[in-house]
Amino acid sequence: MPYSYSTTITSRPPTTTATGPRPARERGGWLRFSPVQPLFRARAAGRLAVLAYHGVTDPNSFGAQLDRLHRLATPVSLQAVEQAISEGRPLPPRSVLITFDDADRTVLTHALPALAARRIPAAAFVIAELIGTDLPFWWHEAQFLAAHGGQARSLRTHSSPEQLLARLKALPDPDRRRSLHELRVSAQRQAPRREQLRPEDLRTLAAAKIAIGNHTLGHPCLGRCDDSTVQTEITAAHLALTQWLGEPPAAFAYPDGGYDSRADATLRQLGYRLGFLSDHRLGPRLPAHPLRISRLQVDSTTSTRRFDTILSGLEPAVQRWRGRAQASAG
């Protein structure tokens, strides 16, 4: 089957922590005391906040964030977002949907108990070819191999793990796969294994109101893939998930957060109703483009102080201003 690891041995997918706009560093917590924070918070009440986590590394801090949401926001499910769109009726004020990309085992071990205790629903987007394996995420593997003597022709010039990843993600996808293969055969050590979620874990999560969504087969940057690879990455993951869950997934999250119009066409054909970006923005309470829903990047270690400024949209706005200022200065 196309979603078995053996057919894609050279194709460890790209993303996770290094995806999309990075959450600002923790020093952004001071923004909470900015005079414009109340204005942003008032404006955010009329928007939809979809939070994009990866794993949960700090269960205590994550629990504090959930308590905050319980007090200040209206947690909604993936299904509620879908229903709002189909009925053309905006979600309630201060609606927040929690999502997890890449879905490592901490979604099961840490996120699920914390969410279930507070009856907060969520959605997890999984990388289909990793399910039931002990394979590392390809981006972790590449960094490990490069740090242990791994070499690849396309990666001669990088000087830091971040640059290595940026370089790999910028390559046409066949070159990324070839580079990973070269790293594997030249490194002195094999990257550590990592136990991933199993098919039965997906069913456990789904039964506990953590909806399972498609995050492609192997997590390539879709914009670097040819048409048929885009289609295969989505369709093969779709078939695998449908088999494991007993029903087709309704939602998709773009690997690395970037929209791709070819993916959009395939998603429509397969009946997907929701698609999520990683653009670090709030969105309308009735999403105008259901296959392009904005999300805010957060981390379980984020302090509640900074968490507030992300939820209000202030911290993302400051990040955009900074990015624009740097671009015009550069």
299: tokens are 């981390």
Smallest distance, Zn ion to C-beta of residue 16, A: 5
In the numeric block, which tokens belong to residue 130? 């990793």
Nearer Cβ to Zn ion (29/257): 257
Cβ nearer to Zn ion, comparing 137 with 307: 137
Residue nearest to Zn ion (CB): 15
- Which CB sits closer to Zn ion, 300 or 312? 300
Contact 139, 191 (CB under 8 A): no
Kindly state the smallest distance separating residue 295's Cβ from Zn ion, in Å: 11
Beta-carbon contacts of residue 134 (< 8 Å; ≥ 6 apart): 193, 194, 195, 196
Q: How far is the CB of 279 from Zn ion (least distance, A)?
A: 14
Q: How far is the CB of 5 from Zn ion (least distance, A)?
A: 18
| Alpha helices per DSSP H over the chain | 37-44, 59-72, 78-87, 106, 112-118, 138-147, 161-170, 173-186, 199-207, 227-245, 261-269, 304-311, 314-329
Which CB, 85 or 135, lies closer to Zn ion?
Answer: 135
What is the rounded distance in angstroms from the CA atom of residue 103 to the CA atom of residue 109? Answer: 11
Nearer to Zn ion, 65 or 297 (CB): 297
301: its two tokens: 């270690």
Enumerate binding residues for Zn ion (CB under 5 A).
Answer: 15, 101-102
**Closest CB 137 distance from Zn ion, rounded Å:** 9
Shortest spacing between CB 119 and Zn ion, in angstroms: 27
What is the identity of the amino acid at 1?
A: M
Rounded to 5 degrees, what are φ and ψ at 316?
A: -60, -35
Nearest-5° Cα angle at 101, 97 to 107: 80
Q: Measured from the CB atom, is 102 or 141 closer to Zn ion?
A: 102
